[in-house]
Amino acid sequence: MSTIGNIIWILTGGLAGAIMWCAVGAALCVTTIGIPFGVQCFKIAALQLAPFGRQVVNDGDGSTLGVIGNVLWVLLVGWILALAHVLMGVVFALTIIGIPFAVQSFKLAALSLAPFGKRVV
């Protein structure tokens, strides 16, 4: 069932979102300071490509750098990305068929707010 969900997800915008995340990640990796943020973009791009059957879990290491990274992430881009995923989730939730896609959008919104210290399994 997750395979069918991922295929439909890719066709309804998942591929475009993953390409966008990869482009932003590549742009961030150009600078040394941006590399950790670029790595987080690639993590979200992988989840954006196939969110069904995968979960976001805490990495277990609440390091100070991870907290600082999350604060900078939220202040600079995280809130905008999370808002976009929430709005997309609300649109998906308007129909009964779209409810599973809304759940995945909300999962991506949570990861978009604080990607440091999270792992996708």
Pairwise CA distance, residues 86 & 105, whole Å: 6
Q: What is the pLDDT, as a whole number, of residue 62?
A: 67
Buried b (16+ CB within 10 A) or exposed e, 103-113: ebbbbbbebbb
> What pLDDT, in 10s, does the model give residues 23-81?
989 998 999 999 999 999 999 999 999 999 999 998 876 678 888 999 999 998 889 88
